[in-house]
Amino acid sequence: MQTELSKTLGVEHAVFGFTPFPAVAAAISRAGGFGVLGAVRYTAPDDLRRDLDWIEEHVDGKPYGLDVVMPAKKVEGVTEADVEAMIPEGHRQFVRDTLAKYGVPELADGEASGWRITGWMEQVARTQLDVAFDYPIRLLANALGSPPADVVDRAHDQDILVAALAGSARHAIKHKDAGIDIVVAQGYEAGGHTGEIATMVLTPEVVDAVGPLPVLAAGGIGSGRQVAAALSLGAQGVWLGSMWLTVTEADLSSTAVTRKLLAAGSGDTVRSRALTGKPARQLRTEWTDAWDDANGPGTLPMPLQGLLVAEALTRIQKYEVEPLLGTPVGQIVGRMTSERSVQAVFDDLTRGFEQAVDRINRIAGRSGK
């Protein structure tokens, strides 16, 4: 599964794996793909440095990258306290009432409320980059469009390729104009933040719009034949995220989440603003239903919604309150039916890819098999 882009980056397979888990990122690269560590949860620079050190020790010299979340436009002088003050009391009460309805216990006195979605704020992302640029990363990806111009320039000065996610050809063209090296065409089926266009339609549109810039297809891809389809549509690789949530190297904080993922079908996700304030595909739960109910207060814009629900989600996860328990995941969750190693996933991908290519060759009369 090699393309011009995979050869440029020195990887065996044109499979880019996004994951919040260092062990998974390293395993993806060791298996011949390209591991990309998600940085949004690292609010403390030392924590990111610790995990990048770990990857360096376990990646066997293979290339890897980092994914950040930062807006292209800078907002000066806004602190987390300023953002917190914008959250209406009615929304806070809705959270309290919903947690009480399901009997979700409080955190212990002095216990941290877990991950705060401050990684969406530019100053936090910039501290992540100050750390990351001390490491030999080969790719910097941004999930909120093109990163600021000075970040693109800084990456290029260090021979680091820059990728940005796009949900439409229009967004992809903006990325190309901003000097981005790789566009990730992320379809409606994908986990996390997505647009309205399905991967089968979006990928060739983006390829045609930004060529010869390399494009990665993302969303609903979890088999070798889907990789072959993506390359047939003109992509130079695939970007997989959801598939790694149930691998044995993943460190999900809740075994109940893993059980729910393994039991879910492709119709058990919903595109909801409940998590961050922007439409993000995730497991459908009674928590997402509550926020999407027309009788509720409605979600807040990013980053207010993420800050509002951070402690609540920590409590739901800590106490494994299953009706409310969910995670971002794409429609490919229906294929995630067992826990496997990263290497086993790659074995399946490469085997399925070879079978798909053989099938097309037979149809085209190019094979005697």
- Of the two residues 74 and 162, the one the predictor is more confident about is 162
- Residue 111: pLDDT band (50, 70, 90) is confident
Which pLDDT belongs to residue 74?
Answer: 58
> What percent of the chain has pLDDT above 90?
81
Q: What is the mean pLDDT of residues 6-16?
A: 97
Residue-averaged pLDDT of the chain = 92
Q: What share of the chain is helix, strand, coil (3-state, %, to 5)?
A: 45, 15, 45
- Of the two residues 114 and 158, the one the predictor is more confident about is 158
Which DSSP string corresponds to 125-161? HHHHHHHHTTTT-SEEEETTSSPPHHHHHHHHHTT-E
Residue 368 has pLDDT above 60, yes or no: no
Which pLDDT belongs to residue 37?
Answer: 97
Quick check: bond before 88 cis, omega within 30? Answer: no
DSSP 122: H
Q: What is the mean pLDDT of residues 46-62?
A: 96
Alpha-carbon gap, residue 86 to 82, rounded angstroms: 7
- Residue 49: pLDDT band (50, 70, 90) is very high
Q: Which two tokens stand for residue 70?
A: 């930062």
Residue 254 has pLDDT above 70, yes or no: no
Q: Could you read off the pLDDT of 145-186 as tens digits, one per residue?
A: 888 999 999 999 999 999 999 999 999 999 999 999 999 999
Alpha-carbon gap, residue 165 to 168, rounded angstroms: 9
CB 204 within 8 A of CB 233: yes
Say how many CA atoms lie within 13 Å of 128 toward its Cβ.
Answer: 28
Q: Is beta strand 64-68 parallel, antiparallel or unpaired with respect to 237-240?
A: unpaired
- Residue 78: pLDDT band (50, 70, 90) is low
Q: Which two tokens stand for residue 321?
A: 């309150």
- Residue 44: pLDDT band (50, 70, 90) is confident
Q: What is the mean pLDDT of residues 275-290?
A: 95
Lowest mean pLDDT among 223-232, 264-273, 296-305, 345-354: 296-305
List all residues 6 or more positions away from 81 whose beta carbon is below 8 Å from its beta carbon: none
- Residue 119: pLDDT band (50, 70, 90) is very low
pTM for the predicted model, two decimal places: 0.92
Q: Could you read off the pLDDT of 125-142 as tens digits, one per residue?
A: 889 999 999 999 999 999
Which pLDDT belongs to residue 302?
Answer: 82
Alpha-carbon gap, residue 31 to 297, rounded angstroms: 46
- Residue 336: pLDDT band (50, 70, 90) is very high
Residue 325 has pLDDT above 80, yes or no: yes
- Residue 109: pLDDT band (50, 70, 90) is confident
Residue 7 has a CB neighbour count (10 Å cut-off) of: 12
Q: Could you read off the pLDDT of 182-236 as tens digits, one per residue?
A: 999 999 999 999 999 999 999 999 999 999 999 999 999 999 999 999 999 999 9
